[in-house]
């Protein structure tokens, strides 16, 4: 969608300048688990986490190498709230080190937001999308626990997950101004992935698009790996 906006600027006769494009591939995650060991090394746990990915992308452009720069700003954001039930197994290596394994189902709530703004002397464009969905997935991981004292340990963990989440329900607002009257539009419905004119995009449709369109429901693929560090308190 960033490339599609840049191409529309070039088509209007402008020259692209500095580009600050940041792929939506990483973010931060905060969370925790409460684990009860009922059979020595074997335990069951409940946990949750909040992950956020937010990237600001900016493309500068001007007309005929003029002294004034205009800007296109694109900001996608995804918030993922997860709740999980896990089976845990602790394997002591020595007095200080323990390897911990965990696996189980997870329930994900995903909140998607997107904004695109283009501003130049005689034109303004603003697109905003908001959509939400919920679905199940699975996750598991392996960690190294380093004992600090009787009640506390430091843990390093690699957590993997499988979650492909669709069914985003939301709304889309579009604002355009071209030298005079401005136009606005608003749509509510399902978020779709559309391939058209070489630049895929996300768009909200009130009803399923007609057959013949290269379009399908948008899918957020949260499958991947997280690297985490934290503290383990024992009671």
Q: For residues 220 and 164, is the Cβ–Cβ distance under 8 A?
A: yes
Backbone angles phi, psi at 151, to 5 degrees: -105, -5
- Looking at residue 118, its pLDDT comes to 93
Q: For residues 17 and 6, is the Cβ–Cβ distance under 8 A?
A: no
d(CA 120, CA 177): 10
Element (H, E) at 186: strand 182-194
Q: What is the pLDDT of residues 39-60, one digit of tens each?
A: 889 999 999 999 999 999 999 9
- Looking at residue 204, its pLDDT comes to 96
d(CA 101, CA 141): 6
Average pLDDT of the chain is 92
Q: For residues 222 and 161, is the Cβ–Cβ distance under 8 A?
A: yes
Look at 171 and 150; give whichever has higher pLDDT.
171
Q: Give, as one character, the DSSP assignment of residue 138.
A: E
Q: What is the pLDDT of residues 73-93, one digit of tens each?
A: 999 999 999 999 999 999 999
Find where tokens 């909040």 sit: 50
- Looking at residue 44, its pLDDT comes to 96
- Looking at residue 123, its pLDDT comes to 85
Q: What is the pTM for the complete model shown?
A: 0.88
181: pLDDT confidence band, cut at 50, 70 and 90? Answer: confident
Residue 219 has pLDDT above 90, yes or no: yes
């Amino acid at each position: 969608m960033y490339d599609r906006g840049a191409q529309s600027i070039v088509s209007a006769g402008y020259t692209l300048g500095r580009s600050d494009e940041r792929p939506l591939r990483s973010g931060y995650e905060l969370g925790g688990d409460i684990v009860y060991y009922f059979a020595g090394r074997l335990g069951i746990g409940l946990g949750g986490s909040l992950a956020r990915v937010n990237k600001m992308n900016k493309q500068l452009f001007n007309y005929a190498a003029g002294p004034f720069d205009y800007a296109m700003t694109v900001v996608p954001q995804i918030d993922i709230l997860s709740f999980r039930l896990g089976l845990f197994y602790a394997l002591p290596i020595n007095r200080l080190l323990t390897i911990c394994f965990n696996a189980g189902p997870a329930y994900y709530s995903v909140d998607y937001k997107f904004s695109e703004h283009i501003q130049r002397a005689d034109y303004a464009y603003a697109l905003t999308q908001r959509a939400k969905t919920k679905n199940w997935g699975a996750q598991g991981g392996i960690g190294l626990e380093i004992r600090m004292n009787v009640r506390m340990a430091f843990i390093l963990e690699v957590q993997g997950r499988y979650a492909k989440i669709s069914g985003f329900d939301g709304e889309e607002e579009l604002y355009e101004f071209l030298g005079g009257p401005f136009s606005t539009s608003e749509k509510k419905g399902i978020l779709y992935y559309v391939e058209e004119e070489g630049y895929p995009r996300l768009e909200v449709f009130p009803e399923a698009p007609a057959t013949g369109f290269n379009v399908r429901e948008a899918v957020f693929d949260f499958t991947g790996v997280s690297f985490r560090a934290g503290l383990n308190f024992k009671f």
